Every structure is written in structure tokens, then in C-alpha cells.
């Protein structure tokens, strides 16, 4: 069994004075600001003169940030707060401002919640005592007139603190951490003075680094295995009867005493490949991009692209069945190309299947143009539905169910394809891959869209892309979370691995993968059960290629841990 750290986080001496009965402290990080994406735009090589106005501006939200901000009122209205405080920075105030307006509440400005370089060093025992004024030694805090109805400046909080970020001499990191600890300790002392001995609920609106600093000081734990606070992500600690504080929520996910996070030790899975009968090698025939495998009665079913070109851009969707997952019988075409002039007239390929409401939902990628030399794919994703896995299939009139973004800056502004479906929390989770305009296939990333009904509408997640790489989408429910197998495309730190996300959104690496499948479709018996019992798939099917002399075919893979 891998080493774990239990997420039962206890308060220690730095907060021993805050001994109240059930005090709850909530913290929300600001929405994504223009400063958060500056490095991303620099890496794109786009001239600064062509950047959108928000890039690099901490006083503007990105398009994603605006979406996050719009969702904050509904998130915060789930709770009742007795007191609200915010960093004086524009991005923190404006993250909660729509909520304050909706509920008629007023927040107090706490300069000590401003951003600061508060790393795990803040817990170091032998930090030096600051020799210069820190608290209240900075610039004066101000508010625009149109926000005075929603915020007030604390009487003894009219000035910000100062931490000398330009200090580069010997011991500079310790001096910076000592100053940061003084600031955060002031926050904790104020909590004790105003709320000690109560069962109040308080909300802080602040920054990522500062938010982790407050949490570390509360728990006296470096929290190395927990990651950072997402934009508009929330954490909450609650005091227990014995005076200890326990982390109850992180990045909006409830944390139970029995829940643990993996340490940095990484597991390994090994994949073996074997030939298949019926849908394997056939001269002059291309079969590729198999769906995930489902079982209906005694039969396994798989859908795939079939055509005569190795890349699949002349394909239609076919299907096959098997009693044992090894010997397959091709049953025929499931979905032909669309009608003349339609969005899916060029090719239909890369299918996947979802079972919901006693029906079968066939997701497929498609292009609007026939393949030709110099062809550039414009794929979108549609859905066809049937009462039987053998068809007939009826295209939904609302197709395409998912299309590329109209915003050139988005990761999926060029195309979307390769659906992978699970049922989670009673909703339909649709993982897909997307490519940005001007990017190569090697720069493909993975996104997520969610719907209340199997036919949609599917709404793209505001934190897309959820995985910064992968050219094929192979996802499954694993326990209460979601896992994904990553192939050879993507950042070096995630290729040929399994990633896991307790919330299905924020993924981290858990396994290395040896000889992983190409374009794999897995047998996932818990994919649509919403049972929290899913595990790493034991087998599936993928693409086999043998150079230009042989068109792609489908073969089997088996997984061992």
C-alpha cells in the first residue's frame, strides 16, 4: 500500500489561543486575473502589441475569470457568513462583489490578506525577528466611491504591510518568511479577538499564496501533498470539541477524516498487447479509434472508424461484437457520413458510447470537408441515439453537441474531437480533446463539458483545459474520483502516466505506464453506474500501426499493476 497522509489537520501552538466551539473559517481565492496568464501569452510568442487588454493586468479578469466570478454568488449562497473580510486588491474585492450585492452584505478590508511570498518556510522554527516595521508601514488603503456601499476599511487597517521583496542577500528567504509569518499571525490574532469562543462562520477573500499561508499557520502543516488553491476555489477549517481545527473542505471538495492523499511515490502499470480476430489486420482496410467497450447481455460491443486512409479522414463508424473480447465479429456500419452540406458530410470517426436512460448514445467526431491534399480538419462532436446497441441510430437535431470555441485564445479554438463519457454525481461528464488555432497536434489538450441530460446541452467547464496534454482521451471513474491514462503527447511530467483527480478536474500523477495503448478504448464496467467503485481498467482495445506498409487495425491491450 502506498504511503498516505491523512487529511485530518490539527491546530498547534500558533493558534492555541483560538479555542472556540465550532468556529468555521472559509477562504476563497480570487478569480483568474490578467496577471495569471501573462507567462502563458509570453510563451505563445505573440507580440505584446497583439495581446488582449486583460493580459498582465491584475485589475482585469480574463474571460475565464469572468466566468468564475459569475459563478461565485451561487457558490457562496450555500453558506451563511457572520463576517466577511477581503484583501484590498481589486481582484479579491471584485470576486465577491457580485455576491455582496445579491445578498446585501458588506465586507471589511483587511490589508493583512494581501498577497505575499508565504512558502512552507513560514513554519520554520528559528526564523529571525523582523528588524523593520512591517504591519501598517505600506501604502494607504483606498476604495472607489461606488464600492463604499459594499466594503468598509477597518479603522486600524488603513495602510498595507511591507515585505522587502528586493532583499537578495544571505538569509533573505528567512527574513521574508519571518515578515510573512508576522502578517499572518496578525490575521489569526484578530480572528481570536473578534470570534474566539463563538460558533461563527467567517469568510476571507484573498490570494493563492496568502491563502495557503493562513491554512499552514492554522494547521502547522506544510501541506506538501495537497496542491494549491484554484481560482475561486475555497477551503474551510472547523474547530472541533477538543479545540483542534480540522480541514473540512479544499478546492470546494469535502474532506472526510478517512480520506487520504497520495504521497509523491508513484506506482506503475504495465500494458501488454495482443492481436484480435475479426477486426485486426486486413489488407486495404483501415480500422482505428475504437470506442470504450461495453457489455450488453453476454456480448461485448465496440465501435470504431473504418475506411481506406490511415489517418481516418475518409471514415464511417462501424461496430463489432465478441463473447470473450478476443474473437470479434464485425456487424456492419453503425453511422454513415452526413447529408450533403451538413457539418458531418466529410467523415465520421472516433466514436464512443454512453449508456443512459435505457438507451445508447453514440458520440462521434466529424468533419465538414472531404479529405484532400492540404486538408485541415475542422472536427466537431455529435451524438446519435438508439434503443439498441445494434441500432438504428438517429442523429440528434441539436448536433453538433460540442464545437470549437469562437475565442482564438482558447485551447479548443481550432477543433474538438474524441469524446469519453462517464456518469458522475447524477450528471453526464464529457471529456474531450481540443486544439487551439495555430497549434500542432502535439499541443492538444483535454477539456471537460457537463450536462444534466445525456443529450445535453453540454457546458464546457470554466477551468478548461483540465489536462495540459494527451492526444487520445481514455478516462474512467476511480473510487470517488476520475482517472485518465496519458499517452506520449503532452508535457514531459505527465506523458505515459495515469493521472487522478478526486474532483474530476484537478489531476495529478499517480502511476507511470509502460507500453501504454495508442488510441485506447477501455472496458469500464462502472463508467455509467455512478457507484464510486471504479478502478483501473483491466483490458481494452487500441490502435495497432506497422508503418506505411500496413493500414492501422485494432488490437487488444491488457493492464497489470
What is the chain's pLDDT, residue by residue, as a tens digit (561 residues)?
333 333 333 333 333 333 334 889 999 999 999 998 888 788 777 788 888 999 999 999 998 889 889 999 999 999 999 999 999 999 999 999 999 999 999 999 999 999 876 667 788 878 888 777 888 888 899 999 999 999 999 999 999 887 665 556 677 778 888 888 888 899 998 998 898 778 899 999 999 989 998 998 888 778 766 778 889 999 999 877 766 778 888 888 887 554 444 444 688 999 999 999 999 999 999 999 999 999 999 999 999 999 998 888 899 999 999 999 999 999 999 999 999 999 999 999 999 999 999 999 999 999 998 877 556 788 999 999 999 999 999 999 999 999 999 998 899 999 999 999 999 999 999 999 999 988 888 889 999 999 999 999 999 999 999 999 888 899 999 999 999 999 988 888 889 999 999 999 999 899 999 999 999 999 999 999 999 999 999 999 999 876 666 899 999 999 998
From 377, 370, 378, select the one nearest 308 (Cα to Cα).
370
Residue 463 to residue 447: CA distance in whole angstroms:
9
Per-residue pLDDT tens over the stretch 177-210:
888 888 889 999 899 889 877 889 999 999 998 9
**pLDDT for position 165:** 56
In this structure, are residues 559 and 271 in contact, taking their beta carbons and an 8 Å threshold?
Answer: yes
Cell of 35: 496577471
Nearest alpha-carbon partner for 544 in 512, 520, 513, 514: 520
The contacts of residue 102 (CB under 8 Å, 6+ apart) are: 73, 77
Using alpha carbons, select from 222, 241, 239, 127 the residue that is nearest to residue 174.
127
Q: Which residues contact 137 (CB under 8 A, 6 or more apart)?
A: 159, 161, 162
Q: Which three cell numbers stand for residue 299?
A: 456480448
Note the pLDDT of residue 6.
31
C-alpha cell read off for 506: 484537478
Element of type H or E holding 67:
helix 63-76
Q: How far apart are CA 389 and CA 355, in angstroms?
A: 9
| CA separation for the pair 123, 484 (Å, rounded) | 35
Distances (CA, A) of 9 to 187, 352, 392: 19, 42, 55
* Nearest CA-CA partner of 291 in 363, 352, 335, 355: 352
Q: What are the residue ranges of helices labelled H in 164-269?
A: 172-195, 208-219
Q: In this structure, are residues 288 and 317 in contact, taking their beta carbons and an 8 Å threshold?
A: no
For residues 478 and 481, give the distance between their C-alpha atoms in angstroms, rounded to a whole number.
5
Cβ contact 72:91 at 8 Å: no
Q: What is the pLDDT of residue 166?
A: 54
Which stretches of 60-186 are assigned E, i.e. beta strand? 83-86, 107-109, 151-153
DSSP E strands, 308-453: 316-322, 328-335, 347-356, 359-367, 380-386, 394-395, 415-424, 427-435, 445-451
Residue 226 confidence (pLDDT): 72
Amino acid at each position: 500500500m502506498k504511503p498516505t497522509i491523512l487529511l485530518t489537520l490539527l491546530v498547534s501552538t500558533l493558534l492555541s489561543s483560538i479555542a472556540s466551539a465550532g468556529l468555521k473559517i472559509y477562504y476563497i481565492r480570487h478569480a483568474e486575473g490578467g496577471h495569471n496568464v501573462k507567462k502563458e501569452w509570453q510563451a505563445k510568442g505573440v507580440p505584446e502589441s497583439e495581446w488582449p487588454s486583460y493580459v498582465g493586468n491584475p485589475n482585469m479578469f480574463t474571460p475565464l475569470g469572468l466566468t468564475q466570478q459569475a459563478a461565485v454568488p451561487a457558490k457562496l449562497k450555500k453558506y451563511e457568513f457572520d463576517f466577511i473580510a477581503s484583501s484590498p486588491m481589486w481582484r479579491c474585492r471584485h470576486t465577491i462583489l457580485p455576491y455582496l450585492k445579491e445578498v446585501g452584505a458588506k465586507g471589511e478590508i483587511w490589508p493583512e490578506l494581501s498577497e505575499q511570498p508565504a512558502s512552507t518556510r513560514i513554519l520554520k522554527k528559528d526564523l529571525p525577528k523582523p528588524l523593520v516595521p512591517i504591519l501598517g508601514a505600506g501604502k494607504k488603503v483606498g476604495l472607489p466611491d461606488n464600492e463604499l456601499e459594499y466594503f468598509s476599511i477597518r479603522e486600524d487597517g488603513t495602510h498595507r504591510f511591507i515585505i522587502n521583496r528586493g532583499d537578495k542577500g544571505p538569509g533573505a528567504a528567512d527574513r521574508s518568511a519571518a515578515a510573512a509569518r508576522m502578517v499572518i499571525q496578525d490575521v489569526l490574532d484578530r480572528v481570536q479577538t473578534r470570534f474566539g469562543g463563538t460558533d461563527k462562520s467567517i469568510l476571507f477573500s484573498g490570494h493563492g499564496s496568502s491563502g495557503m499561508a493562513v491554512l499552514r499557520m492554522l494547521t502547522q502543516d506544510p501541506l506538501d501533498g495537497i496542491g494549491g488553491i484554484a481560482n475561486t476555489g475555497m477551503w474551510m477549517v472547523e474547530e472541533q470539541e477538543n479545540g483542534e481545527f480540522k480541514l473540512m473542505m479544499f478546492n470546494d471538495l469535502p474532506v472526510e477524516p478517512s480520506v487520504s492523499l497520495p504521497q509523491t511515490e508513484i506506482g506503475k502499470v504495465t500494458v501488454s498487447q495482443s492481436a484480435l480476430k475479426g477486426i485486426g489486420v486486413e489488407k486495404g482496410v483501415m480500422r482505428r479509434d475504437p470506442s470504450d467497450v461495453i457489455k450488453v447481455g453476454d456480448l461485448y460491443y465496440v465501435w470504431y472508424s473504418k475506411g481506406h486512409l490511415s489517418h481516418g479522414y475518409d471514415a464511417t463508424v462501424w461496430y463489432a461484437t465478441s463473447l470473450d473480447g478476443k474473437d470479434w465479429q464485425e456487424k456492419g456500419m453503425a453511422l454513415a457520413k452526413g447529408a450533403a452540406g451538413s457539418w458531418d458530410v466529410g467523415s465520421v470517426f472516433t466514436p464512443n458510447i454512453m449508456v443512459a436512460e435505457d438507451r445508447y448514445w453514440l458520440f462521434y467526431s466529424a468533419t465538414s470537408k472531404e479529405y484532400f491534399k492540404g486538408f485541415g480538419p475542422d472536427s466537431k462532436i455529435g451524438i446519435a441515439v438508439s434503443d439498441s446497441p445494434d441500432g438504428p441510430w438517429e442523429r440528434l437535431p441539436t448536433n453538433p453537441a460540442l464545437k470549437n470555441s469562437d475565442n482564438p485564445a482558447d485551447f479548443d479554438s481550432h477543433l474538438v474531437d474524441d469524446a469519453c463519457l462517464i456518469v458522475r454525481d447524477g450528471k453526464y461528464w464529457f471529456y474531450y480533446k481540443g486544439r487551439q488555432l495555430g497549434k500542432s497536434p502535439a499541443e492538444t489538450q483535454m477539456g471537460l463539458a457537463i450536462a444534466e441530460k445525456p443529450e445535453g446541452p453540454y457546458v464546457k467547464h470554466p477551468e478548461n483545459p483540465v489536462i495540459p496534454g494527451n492526444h487520445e482521451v481514455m478516462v474512467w471513474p476511480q473510487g470517488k474520483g476520475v482517472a485518465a491514462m496519458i499517452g506520449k503527447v503532452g508535457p514531459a511530467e505527465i506523458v505515459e502516466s495515469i493521472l487522478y483527480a478526486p474532483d474530476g478536474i484537478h489531476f495529478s500523477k499517480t502511476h507511470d505506464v509502460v507500453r501504454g495503448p495508442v488510441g485506447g478504448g477501455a472496458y469500464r464496467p462502472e463508467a455509467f453506474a455512478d457507484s464510486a467503485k471504479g478502478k483501473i481498467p483491466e483490458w481494452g482495445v487500441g490502435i495497432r500501426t506497422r508503418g506505411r506498409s500496413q493500414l492501422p487495425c485494432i488490437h487488444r491491450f491488457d493492464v497489470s499493476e
